Amino acid sequence: MSLFAFAEYWWFYLAFTGLIIVLLAVDLGLFNRRAHEIGFREAGLWVLAWAVLSAAFGYGLYLYASARFGGAVARRLALEFATGYLVEQALSVDNMFVFVLIFGYFAIPRIYQHRVLFYGILGALIFRAIFIALGAALLRYEWVVVLFGIFLIFTGARMFFGEEKEIEPEKNLVLRIARRFLPLTTSMHGQRFIAREGGVMVGTPLLVTLLVLEFTDILFAIDSVPAIFAVTREPLVVFTSNVLAILGLRSMYFLLAGAVGKFHLLRYGLGIILVFIGLKMAWLNELWHGEFPISWSLAFIGIVLAVTIGLSLLFPRRQRAESPAPAGKRDR
């Protein structure tokens, strides 16, 4: 049974979602009303701001749960929130490399990248909410829990042993469908997603990039949402930790975009983490009479991330000469 049943806590979900919308509106309407290139210092301040907000929420959750359910339950929920947040952040860092490639492929100037990421995150929040609701409904069945665990083990093993595939945004399914309904142009029209050319409404490169990023994030969510459900069965904890981690993704992108290639061993660490989380979901929880210690999970995930990031910096990958994509490849 969930401690935060939706029928009883619907008002909290509504208030939390409303707060997030207000914060995003302030972000776009006040701080980023005019398109500008996000610098390292500004990105760092926003990363810090979102991290402080997430920590404050986790502490507030602890205080409320402590008063309502007792200290032991409160500590478990706080650790589950922190672990879910850490897992989502780690997966997001790896996904940023894909974002860098997509922005480069479609030649999106840095001055407009924040706007694309902003609306991309709005879509991500909607799809994550849908996936979390489906996951909460499905995970009531034990065979689904085991199936999700096996899926995460397979995904982690593929990430660890598989070769990195070249990203080909031009072959994206959503992009091919979009072409059937809206003419696309290769010309930039400022920060507009849809513009008029020769009396015809056309989709700009910003719209094309947004569609590809949105589809890519849906694929990411297929891995990340089950991974957090392996950490906690509380939909409220899954939803809030996932959303708060995503909110800091834009700022972290501008903070790490230039250095994300340095974390070349991170994918191996993430592969190990996904295999561990899958084992926890399919076997370890049952072995520990229902719940593998969350403090051990948090420590293991933190150590693996620290080791793989540290090794990436100590043993940098040899640079390979890469030729830019031909102009014809960017034709929409």
Is residue 1 in some structural domain? no
CA angle 33/21/58 to nearest 5° reads 120
Total Cβ atoms within 10 A of residue 289: 7
The pLDDT of residue 325: 46
Report CA torsion sign: 112, 129, 57, 156: negative
Over residues 59-74, the pLDDT tens digits come to 999 999 999 999 999 9
Nearest in space to 98 (alpha carbons), one of 112, 72, 122, 117: 117
8 Å CB contact between 106 and 169? yes
CA separation for the pair 81, 61 (Å, rounded): 9
Is residue 330 in some structural domain? no
- The residues of the chain scoring below 70 in pLDDT are 1, 28-33, 35, 94, 164-170, 258-261, 319-332
Residues 163-197 as b/e (b if ≥16 CB within 10 A, e otherwise) read eeeebebbebebbeebeeeeebbeeebeeebebee
Kindly report the three-state secondary structure assignment for every residue of the chain: CCCCCHHHHHHHHHHHHHHHHHHHHHHHHHHCCCCCCCCHHHHHHHHHHHHHHHHHHHHHHHHHHHHHHCHHHHHHHHHHHHHHHHHHHHHHHHHHHHHHHHHHHCCCCHHHHHHHHHHHHHHHHHHHHHHHHHHHHHCCCHHHHHHHHHHHHHHHHHHHHCCCCCCCHHHCHHHHHHHHHCCECCCCCCCCCEEEECCEEEECHHHHHHHHHHHHHHHHHHHHHHHHHHHCCCHHHHHHHHHHHHHCHHHHHHHHCCCHHHCCCHHHHHHHHHHHHHHHHHHHHHHCCCCCCHHHHHHHHHHHHHHHHHHHHHCCCCCCCCCCCCHHHHCC
The pLDDT of residue 124: 83
Structure token digits, residue 70: 């007792």
Is residue 98 in some structural domain? yes
Look at the block and give the residue holding tokens 């309407």.
29
CA separation for the pair 184, 63 (Å, rounded): 51
8 Å CB contact between 117 and 253? yes
Total Cβ atoms within 10 A of residue 4: 19
Is residue 242 in some structural domain? yes
Q: How many domains does the chain contain in total? A: 1
Is residue 307 in some structural domain? yes
CA angle 140/144/146 to nearest 5° reads 115
State residue 97 phi and psi, 5-degree precision: -60, -40
Is residue 326 in some structural domain? no
Task: State the residue range of the domain holding 151.
Answer: 6-319
Is residue 329 in some structural domain? no
CA separation for the pair 61, 92 (Å, rounded): 24
The pLDDT of residue 20: 87
Total Cβ atoms within 10 A of residue 143: 8
- Kindly report the pTM of this predicted structure: 0.82
Nearest in space to 103 (alpha carbons), one of 215, 26, 209: 209
Is residue 193 in some structural domain? yes
- Side chain identity at residue 271, one-letter code: G
